[in-house]
Amino acid sequence: MSPEHNESLNELEIIFSDPFIERTLDDARRYNQLLLTETPSQEQKTEIIKELDGMWGAALKSRVKMTGNMRIHTPGQDEPTIRFVDGEYVTSNGFAIIDEPVYQDGELTRIASRVTHHMYVPSTILDKDDESGAQYEATADIEGSFLEMTKASPERALALLTYTVPAMMEDAEARLFGAATNAVDADAIMSLKGFEISSDFSSESELIHDSFLHYLNNVIELDATLPYEMGVDGQLYVYHVASEKYVLHEVTLDKTLVFFSSFEFDEDEMVMNQPRLLIKGTLVGELKNDENFTVKVPVDSMTSLKSLREQYASRH
């Protein structure tokens, strides 16, 4: 098989499975092979789970789609409820080790341990009419179950985007890495004004949407230590503490200081049936006692943007 063919297969695999998931599950399977013949101490169990959870990383506490048989533990029940789920959303909590007795000729011979997925599931999985909002602990065997992430790792995100929305990615990269920008800071952000979200992207999954935001947040180096000087003419979302909601305002700001934290999409206020690209941040008051405001700024509302990094550095 040619090296080019191998490379194509690797790219195809990364589209349908996340490399960090496969690496972690391979290690979990190796532990399960060892546990077939060894009975681990509680300290060894703790170390195994700590290692696997560490590899799971950002997937801990994340929302995933689960397919397979689950053992659901409910209050007041000695035995778990076995339930098959098909693409149900649950919260991944990494891994657990469960112990089960092994009998031979009716006699208990040993306690067998194995690594399993550990998660929290909504009570509606057991009763679709249950509106209590309760969450139950559950486990699922590594083999025979499938977890689909709603967020991609950095190494998978770009491959997914290049495969699913190639034209949109070509436009994004041309803007970010074009001659007028260095894909950093203010120039890169302003290059996204007028950027069109493709119709294919709009119909794609949460995983693809999150991958694009992850791509932007990694490629564009938002300044975490110094504010930007920003001009705005148009819509701006301001967080209102009383209502605990972002409220849309029409504003004109000549120069205001803002700290940016991350790119987001506004799925509620669609523009031409496309999600709007926003940057979340904090508007800084001019005086010490002025109030700061948490905001989400549509990129297309910006009239100017300047990083104060060079200005600050030139004074020192």
What is the C-alpha to C-alpha distance for residues 63 and 149, in angstroms, rounded to an integer?
Answer: 7
The CA-atom distances, in angstroms, between 135 and each of 60, 125, 130 are 16, 10, 11
How many Å apart are CA 269 and CA 267, to the nearest integer?
6
Residues 42 and 174 in one domain: no
Contacts of residue 61, Cβ cutoff 8 Å, sequence gap at least 6: 91, 92, 93
Residue 295 has pLDDT above 50, yes or no: yes
Q: What is the pLDDT at residue 313?
A: 54
In a domain, 1, yes or no: no
Percent of the chain with pLDDT over 70: 85
Average pLDDT, integer, range 114-126? 94
Question: Interhelix angle for 154-164 vs 19-35, to 10°?
Answer: 130
Q: What pairs with residue 258 in β-bridges?
A: 228, 283
Looking at the structure, tell me whether residues 253 and 177 fall in a common domain. yes
Domain boundary among 103, 134, 149: 149
User: Which ranges of the chain would DSSP assign to H, the alpha helix?
Assistant: 3-16, 19-35, 42-56, 154-164, 166-176, 185-191, 199-202, 206-219, 309-314
Name the most confidently modeled range: 86-90, 203-207, 309-313.
86-90
**Is residue 35 in a domain?**
yes
8 A C-beta contact, residue 230 and residue 304? yes
Average pLDDT over residues 181-198: 79
Number of neighbouring beta carbons within 10 Å of residue 255: 11
Same domain for 244 and 101: no
Give pLDDT, residue 70: 95
Query: Does the reported pTM lie above 0.85?
Result: no
| Euclidean distance between CA atoms 143 and 64, whole angstroms | 17
Q: What is the pLDDT of residue 6?
A: 40
* pLDDT at position 2: 36
pLDDT at 107: 75
Residue 3 pLDDT > 70:
no
**Average pLDDT score over residue span 238-247:** 89
Supply the pLDDT for residue 290.
57
Alpha carbons 138 and 162: distance in angstroms, whole number: 36
**Which residue is it, tokens 């104060």?**
308
Residue 9 lies in a domain: no
> What do you get for the CA distance between the two ends of the chain, in Å?
58
Mean pLDDT, rounded, of the chain: 83
Question: How many domains in the chain?
Answer: 2
- For 80, which DSSP code? P
- Closest by Cα among 154, 159, 167, 210 to 11: 159
| Out of 8-17, 141-150, 296-305, least confident range | 8-17
| Bridge partners for 70 per DSSP | 83
Q: What is the mean pLDDT of residues 287-298?
A: 76
Looking at 80-84, 142-146, 198-202, which range is the least confident one? 198-202
Q: Kindly state whether residues 139 and 205 are assigned to the same domain.
A: no
DSSP state for residue 161 in the 8-state scheme: H
**75 and 215 inside one domain:** no
Does some domain include residue 159?
yes
Residues 41 and 165 placed together within one structural domain of the fold:
no
Domain co-membership, 137 together with 160:
no
**Does residue 272 carry a pLDDT above 60?**
no
By residue range, what is the domain housing residue 275?
154-314
- Which of 39-48, 55-64, 94-103, 159-168 is predicted most confidently? 39-48
> Quick one: average pLDDT of 51-70?
90
| pLDDT tens digit sequence for 18-42 | 778 888 999 999 999 999 888 889 9
Whole-angstrom distance, CA of residue 149 vs CA of residue 157: 12
Residues 172 and 140 in one domain: no
Domain end among 133, 149, 165: 149
